[in-house]
Structure 1
Amino acid sequence: MSNAEITLHRSGIRARMSVPLIRAFLVCLIGLSVSQACFADDETKPNILFLFADDLAYNCVANGGNDQVITPNLDELARRGTSFTHCYNMGGWNGAVCQASRAMLNTGRFLWNAHALEGSIRKTELPEKRLWAQRLESAGYDTYFTGKWHVSASADSVFGTARNVRGGMPEQTPQGYIRPLSPEDKVWQPWDKKFGGFWEGGKHWSEVVADDAELFFESAGQSDNPFFMYIAFNAAHDPRQAPKEFVDMYPFEEIEIPQPFYEEYPYQIGSNYVRDEKLAPFPRTKYSVQINRQEYYAIITHMDREIGRVLKALEDSGKADNTYIFFTADHGLAAGHHGLMGKQNMHDHSMRVPFTVVGPDIPESKKIDSSIYLQDVVPTTFEIAKMEKPDEVDFKSMLPLINGERERSYDSIYGAYIDFQRMIVDGDYKLIVYPKINKKQLFNLADDPLEENDLIDDPEQSVRIAMLTEKLEALQQEMNDPLAKK
């Protein structure tokens, strides 16, 4: 046989091909196998279901240690997956802390970087496709959204499908504030639909969100593409409304008073009298706090039921085995702790949220104590989608923590609220700074998780306070904090 020809044998068929033709044939075969591998990779990309609550503190679900709250579906989700016990939001640049949280979530940027970018979102709607869902869409995902958005770009421009897009909060009524004044104060009731709010339109908004999710799964079942669903509940934000059957699950006299209980927060921190704080009377009474938490627990349990519907729809779709599920919230809520009702403070009840992930190869019933930010979900989904993390995304994937490849993502946790408060959590200790009143607080979170015992005047802590102050100032530089010392 000459060097110019090769005889091929295949299933008894003989063919003679020249060497150049063989080379071309092999190139085609290699190209075909590579394209088939890429196609197979696309077909096996996992789906992503992101379940997002509003105003939900880490300690107001059973998995967070609160055995008064009835959350069977979230409990089951935690059993099936891995939970992060110390998941933080960085804070906010105005009283609507949820706005900053969602801007960080959708841009992947740290607090002040997201604030700078928020202006360009508002002006240009980022045609460069730089928001979370847009990046996943570029990687081949069908994208769906329903519920609370609160980002400057329109949800319709960001997601392939968007339904029932809601604003920052359901409309509150005058009767919903400074209440209840006494046990006889029954003017406003959470199940009374005449006050609108979550009942506006005739059906509770949490139920509308679950309805939309069920429709999304029907649509996703007809597509060969992986899906990204961003299911955003307005619950458990005020007005904390739920059907009466859910309120009745929580007799107010059985509601535990959150600790520490103050009639009024002792420091003027620039947030004492924002809108959230006006939900309950001043000074705080134990009865008003019990009623507020009764209604808070009721709307959480109602949302849990609707989350159960979403999870069932996922199972019925046949796609559950190849779907990662993330559950978290945009920030926490005081709801009576420290004499506060809102989220405009640096205490853990307002800065920490529940966080659970379920999916292929995710360990079951596992808890990780390493501190993360809730927005770490963004680069985590990029890793799941086999995408390279964009350079401008500041947050970090949590998969290395889940897989045991690293012990922590951040040396310290940073927090801020406008120019009124700053925070650093470093190991077991938290330092809170109030720049406008030259006040600091120091807490040992390991010994004092409820932040009742301020150690700032303890002379034995002076070295620690100086060290944490220096670390916080360094973090402020890293975060492009407008209060950073230049």
Structure 2
Amino acid sequence: MKNLKRLTILVFFIFLGCKDQAQKETVEIGISKKPNIIFLFSDDQSFKAVHALGNKEIITPTMDKLVADGTTFTHSYNMGGWNGAICLASRAMMISGRSVWRAEQVSGNYSKNQDLDKTWPRLMQTQGYETYMTGKWHVQAKADSIFNHVGHVLRGMPYDTPEGYNRPQNVNDTLWKPWKKEFGGYWKGGKHWSELVKEDAVSFIDHAAKKDNPFFMYIAFNAPHDPRQSPKKYVDMYPLDSVSVPESYMPLYPYAETMGAGKSLRDEKLAPFPRTEYSVKVNRQEYYAITTHLDDQINDILEALEGKGLRENTYIFFTSDHGLAIGEHGLMGKQNMYDHSMRVPLMVVGPDIPKGKKVNTDIYLQDVMATTLDLAGVEKPEYIEFSSFINLAKGTQSQSRYNSIYGVYEKGSQRMIRKNNYKLILYPKSKQVLLYNLGKDPLELKDLASDPENSAKIKSLFKDLIQLQKEKGDPLDLESIYENVI
């Protein structure tokens, strides 16, 4: 009897040893362990604000390394927003997976604790992911109601700084300094908010390294949103004579009032009216400085990931919720349909992602959400309107899932369609139509709408826009406008 017990115990321990070894080998070859996913989200960062993507004035070594180490989508767009806080709509689309008008509808349910199981983090949790969030939230759901772990939850924008508006008036207007902590903003609380978010993220990586289950991190920086504050050494990296005025600069945008981006809009009040080359250069100097400061915080996060041995089995996504004008077309904000305000950087780095590859296919930045679900093994629910781009990144797919890109601002202020290298912009209140040939005019400097030979192109794009708005649940009656304009 004793011998039988000993034999049983021996067999049991042999079984355990074999099982442990098998599990270890399975993890080592990457079969059972799902990939970790890190989502890095900046605010107000145009696709033009990355050195490796063509801006030789800005210093972004970490973002440049993401471009070198992974695949970059050069034409990633936000659809726009239903009010001046474009980031609110962008983030609602990202969390819900719905396009702009349906995201507006469903986001109202979050404050009532409805539809929370349909949000991005909750869907990741169905596949065993430990979810974490820190930074800018600006979504109507409470962050701790849908993430397992939450760091600092920051406001839609840093606390307002009255001294940061309508400036600089001239070279003698020197009251404002980005590094002066007495102005609050990013400095409120004593530590720059980008550094705060970085420290939160590094702390969670340390926690995750001790766990076996995969993790999903949503790391959302407020930078480079205004007030554009950063330590002095970053501003000093950009002497004013090294900062250029954009080619699309103009003192005032002729349609600003009719399109809902006039002198009363908060973003537009940051610089004086009319715009001056000097005020634009100073604003761009401070924009570059806070972006470089952000770049350094991202570097610290990636180094922590590397130091814990987690980089190899982690997909890293970097993008922004929309772009920003900062003096282009006489505008300062993002409430417009030009590429500088709708188009963002988007990089993905991961175990099987090609290095140094650029994909020019048109996508939406919210496709990141669907892509991570794909990687996590979550079957995409029918209500998710965005598409995974993982096959585009890997090169096994070449065509976009979108025939055109749709853009909006407010219920009736602006509409846009981008298709086959043309862009049509409509300001419904004045029935103003603009047309750009993006293949020949990527900076959108020459409006072609008044040329009679383009009437057929305008008519075709307008009809496509009407079809798009029906698909997206757009409440604006474009058909009656079409009859009056075409």
What TM-score do the two structures reach when normalised by structure 1?
0.91
Contact 2:106/2:115 (CA < 8 Å) preserved in 1?
no
Contact 1:433/1:440 (CA < 8 Å) preserved in 2?
yes
Q: Which runs of 5+ in 1 are unaligned?
A: 1-12, 14-31
Whether 1:292 aligns to 2:280 is no
- Matched with 2:212 is 224
Alpha-carbon offset, residue 173 of structure 1: 1.6
Contact 1:477/1:484 (CA < 8 Å) preserved in 2?
no
Deviations 1:236-292 (A, max 9, x none): 000000000000000112211012111011112111231000000000000000000
Kindly provide the amino acid, as one letter, of the partner of residue 119 in structure 1. Answer: G
Counterpart-to-counterpart distance in 1, 2:221 and 2:32: 30
Alpha-carbon offset, residue 139 of structure 1: 1.2
Deviations 1:197-242 (A, max 9, x none): 0001111111111101110111101111000001100000000000
Counterpart-to-counterpart distance in 1, 2:388 and 2:360: 16
Whether 1:272 aligns to 2:251 is no
Kindly provide the amino acid, as one letter, of the partner of residue 431 in structure 2. Answer: N
Counterpart-to-counterpart distance in 1, 2:150 and 2:114: 16
Which of 401, 414, 418 is equivalent to 1:421? 414
Counterpart-to-counterpart distance in 1, 2:67 and 2:165: 35
Which of 137, 141, 147 is equivalent to 2:135? 147
Q: Which runs of 5+ in 2 are unaligned?
A: 1-6, 8-18, 480-486
Whether 1:325 aligns to 2:316 is yes
Secondary structure at the aligned position of 2:435 is classed as: strand
Bigger drift between 410-419 and 262-271 goes to 262-271
Kindly provide the amino acid, as one letter, of the partner of residue 372 in structure 1. Answer: I
Whether 1:160 aligns to 2:148 is yes
Alpha-carbon offset, residue 405 of structure 1: 2.1
Counterpart-to-counterpart distance in 1, 2:60 and 2:23: 44
Kindly provide the amino acid, as one letter, of the partner of residue 192 in structure 1. Answer: K
Counterpart-to-counterpart distance in 2, 1:317 and 1:101: 32
Which of 452, 455, 480 is equivalent to 2:473? 480
Deviations 1:378-424 (A, max 9, x none): 11001101111111100000012123324212000000000200000
Which of 428, 447, 455 is equivalent to 1:435? 428
Secondary structure at the aligned position of 1:181 is classed as: coil
Whether 1:407 aligns to 2:399 is yes
Identity %: 54
Alpha-carbon offset, residue 36 of structure 1: 8.3
Alpha-carbon offset, residue 330 of structure 1: 0.2
Alpha-carbon offset, residue 125 of structure 1: 4.7
- Matched with 2:483 is none
- Matched with 2:447 is 454
Whether 1:301 aligns to 2:316 is no
Contact 1:443/1:454 (CA < 8 Å) preserved in 2?
yes
Which of 71, 83, 86 is equivalent to 2:60? 71
Contact 1:477/1:485 (CA < 8 Å) preserved in 2?
no
Secondary structure at the aligned position of 2:41 is classed as: strand
Counterpart-to-counterpart distance in 2, 1:316 and 1:228: 18
Alpha-carbon offset, residue 167 of structure 1: 1.1
What TM-score do the two structures reach when normalised by structure 2?
0.91
- Matched with 2:380 is 389
Alpha-carbon offset, residue 63 of structure 1: 2.5
Contact 1:125/1:152 (CA < 8 Å) preserved in 2?
no
Q: How many residues align?
A: 452
Measured on the aligned residues, the alpha-carbon RMSD in Å equals 1.7
Alpha-carbon offset, residue 123 of structure 1: 2.2
Alpha-carbon offset, residue 42 of structure 1: 7.7
Match runs of 1:177-196 below 5 Å: 177-196=165-184
Match runs of 1:357-368 below 5 Å: 357-368=348-359
Counterpart-to-counterpart distance in 2, 1:75 and 1:36: 37
Counterpart-to-counterpart distance in 1, 2:31 and 2:267: 46
Contact 1:476/1:484 (CA < 8 Å) preserved in 2?
no
Counterpart-to-counterpart distance in 2, 1:440 and 1:216: 49
Alpha-carbon offset, residue 473 of structure 1: 0.4
Contact 1:173/1:195 (CA < 8 Å) preserved in 2?
yes
Whether 1:199 aligns to 2:187 is yes
Counterpart-to-counterpart distance in 2, 1:84 and 1:405: 14
Whether 1:251 aligns to 2:244 is no
Which of 95, 101, 116 is equivalent to 1:112? 101
Counterpart-to-counterpart distance in 1, 2:202 and 2:414: 42
Kindly provide the amino acid, as one letter, of the partner of residue 63 in structure 1. Answer: A
Which of 176, 189, 198 is equivalent to 2:164? 176
Change (3 A) 1:208 1:160: same
Secondary structure at the aligned position of 1:357 is classed as: strand
